[in-house]
Amino acid sequence: MQRQWHNAVMAVAVCIIASGCAGISGGVTAGLEDVDDTIELTEVPFFPQVTDQCGPAALATILNASGVGADPEALKSRIYIPGREGSLQLELLAATRAYDRLAYSIDPDLQALVAELRAGRPVLVLQNLGIGLAPVWHYAVVVGYLPEDRRFVLRSGDQRRYLIDARRFVRTWHRAENWGVVALRPDELPAQPDPQRYLRSVAALESVGATSAARSGYRAAVEQWPLNGLAWLGLGNASYAEGDLDIARLAYQAMLDLEPGNLIALNNIAQVKAEQGCIREARDAIDQAFSILAPGDPMHQHLRQTRREIEARPLADTRACRVAL
Amino acid sequence: MFSQFGHRFCIYAVALCLTLLPVLQSANAAIVATDAAIEIADRQQQIDRIDDVLARDNVRSLLVDLGVDPADASARVRALTDAELATLDSQLAELPAGGVGFVELVGIVAIVLIVLELLGVTNVFSKI
């Protein structure tokens, strides 16, 4: 009886292992079939990892490749957590922003990874070298792919040029949810840009006070997606934060043209016009917003606040405003 | 008769809930998108709020407890967006922290291979 039970367990174990293998020999390396030329970014610098600090070493690698002179020792105080003997993904992103670089998470697939390499950008990846139940997390930087050997080239640990079998890499990467990130200069777009994710990266940069870098990011975004209202809103807000009210107003107006009746655009236009001394126009904009405001809209409180501020100003338009008209 | 009606009512109610579930979820998704836009629009308020967010203190002390220098911890917390802070506040202990060294790596692979060898080869092949 006990023996039977034992056999059953073993049979299940064999099934699990076999199915795992079957999955791996299947389409795991999908996205690599079309890659028939060697890609290797030999210029990407290498920072050998000290003890358990693969995070600072890997981050220093992509930052330096992006033109930022940051060394692992300086990064250690930003991202290393002694009690966890490692670094968190979120803090890697935050530290990237601290150097005025966009931290852009690539699509979680090999195609996106190769596209970044082709664009000349190394990709920082998280790998799980263990298994689901006993994870062993490791950061490395992918710098190339050799189709003839079916191997990836990594800057990893103390290995400047670590060659890893493509399928093995894919498995370790997959167990870390295919997480990969590139460091972009603020005016640089990723190889396969997703508007929402790109704007989110720029907004994160903006929200920690890097408004100048964020403004470059939004400018790149409106050039790439001129019909995206959020991109114009971001450009408007970053310009506003930099004190460039004319550009801010034009950007908000562009958003409003794309999305007539957009309450955020109307609110911000009213605010900027009031600050420029065009009180009548500011009132018109805020009145228009209230005329289309639905009950319970989350913008309600915000619009009321803006209206209060506008009404507190004297109605006479300034001379500068009349000239602008 | 009445209990049969009650039974049927229950079935209809559950069916209705299941039908509505995707609708409700998509409604929530749309609301999040609007919130995101407002957050971006509302920069000044964000800056004002930064120091007030309780999560900031909490995450800071969590980092200090984990051996981060208190001065570094303050700067690190300031570098995070509100959304990131909220994630760290609730999941710092569970999030993966990449940090294995290359020497350990080789050791772990060796152990895994030995375990597989013991489990897979000696047991499985001798029994089946």
pLDDT at B119: 57
DSSP reduced 3-state for B104: helix
A26 or A35: which carries more pLDDT confidence? Answer: A35
Would you tell me the crossing angle of helices A72-79 and B70-78 to the nearest 10 degrees?
Answer: 80
- Is beta strand A137-146 parallel, antiparallel or unpaired with respect to A123-128? antiparallel
In the block, tokens 């997390």 appear at A137
Among B100, B118, B128, which would you mutate to test the A interface (most chain A Cβ atoms within 10 Å of its Cβ)?
Answer: B100
Q: What is the Cα–Cα distance from A159 to A161, expressed in whole angstroms?
A: 5
Q: What is the Cα–Cα distance from A26 to A10, expressed in whole angstroms?
A: 24
DSSP reduced 3-state for A4: helix
Instruction: Check CB contact under 8 Å for A206 and B80.
Output: no
Partner residue facing B124 (CB), from A14, A49, A87: A14
SS (H, E, C) A106-149: CCCCHHHHHHHHHCCCCEEEEEECCCCCCCCEEEEEEEEEECCC
Nearest CA in chain B to A131: B112
Above 60 in pLDDT, residue A8? no
How many Cβ atoms from other residues are within 10 Å of residue B18's Cβ? 9
Confidence of residue A34 (pLDDT cuts 50, 70, 90): confident
Q: What is the average pLDDT value for chain A, to the nearest integer?
A: 88
Q: What is the Cα–Cα distance from A70 to A77, expressed in whole angstroms?
A: 12
To the nearest whole Å, the CA of A222 is away from the closest chain B CA by: 16
Confidence of residue A249 (pLDDT cuts 50, 70, 90): very high
Would you tell me the crossing angle of helices A211-224 and A229-241 to the nearest 10 degrees?
Answer: 150
pLDDT at B12: 53
Strand blocks (E) in B7-126:
97-98
Partner residue facing B98 (CB), from A7, A126, A268: A126
DSSP state of B120: I
Give the pair of three-digit tokens for residue A142: 């992918």
Among B84, B88, B94, B112, which would you mutate to test the A interface (most chain A Cβ atoms within 10 Å of its Cβ)?
Answer: B84
Strand blocks (E) in B1-128:
97-98
Above 90 in pLDDT, residue B127? no
Above 80 in pLDDT, residue A12? no
Nearest by Cα to A257 from A223, A238, A233: A233
To the nearest whole Å, the CA of B61 is away from the closest chain A CA by: 12
Residue type present at position B67: G
Confidence of residue B18 (pLDDT cuts 50, 70, 90): very low
Compute CA A91 distance to the chain's CA centroid, rounded to the nearest angstrom: 13
Backbone angles phi, psi at A316, to 5 degrees: -60, 125
